[in-house]
């Protein structure tokens, strides 16, 4: 039986909303946070699963994930991707990793 060709990994931009959890490292009065992540995966669903698993290992409490697709998807939507952002995406792809590019705490 011939092996299925492996699908190439792509980078996906994900916005993850997290709640509070003991030892989550968020500021004391924060009620949660939004994390902008770049994650590698053969499809967006895999990138989401990997990201949620890694954030849980980091003692964060993922509540919701919004996917913004690949860099090509984002450019097609009119998003501007900075060279710094592209460098982080390239690194996530090269390392088959999830990179948290930005964390914005929420305060009520």
Q: Is the pLDDT of residue 1 over 80?
A: no
Q: What is the pLDDT of residues 77-98, one digit of tens each?
A: 999 999 999 999 999 999 999 9
Q: What are the C-alpha distances in Å from 39 to residues 2, 17, 50, 82, 108? A: 29, 15, 8, 17, 29
Q: What is the pLDDT of residues 4-20, one digit of tens each?
A: 677 889 999 999 999 99
By three-state DSSP, how is residue 90 classified? helix
Domain ranges of the chain: 10-106
Q: What pLDDT does 6 receive? A: 77
Q: What pLDDT does 57 receive? A: 95
Q: What is the pTM of this model?
A: 0.90
């Amino acid at each position: 039986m011939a092996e299925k060709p492996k699908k190439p990994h792509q980078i996906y931009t994900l916005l993850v909303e997290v709640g509070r959890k003991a030892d989550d490292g968020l500021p004391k009065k924060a009620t949660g946070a939004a994390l902008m992540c770049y994650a590698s995966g053969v499809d967006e669903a895999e990138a989401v699963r990997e990201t949620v698993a890694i954030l849980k290992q980091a003692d964060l409490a993922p509540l919701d994930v919004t996917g913004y697709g690949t860099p090509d998807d984002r450019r097609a939507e009119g998003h501007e991707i900075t060279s710094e952002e592209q460098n982080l995406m390239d690194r996530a792809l090269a390392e088959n990793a999830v990179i948290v590019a930005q964390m914005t705490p929420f305060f009520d």
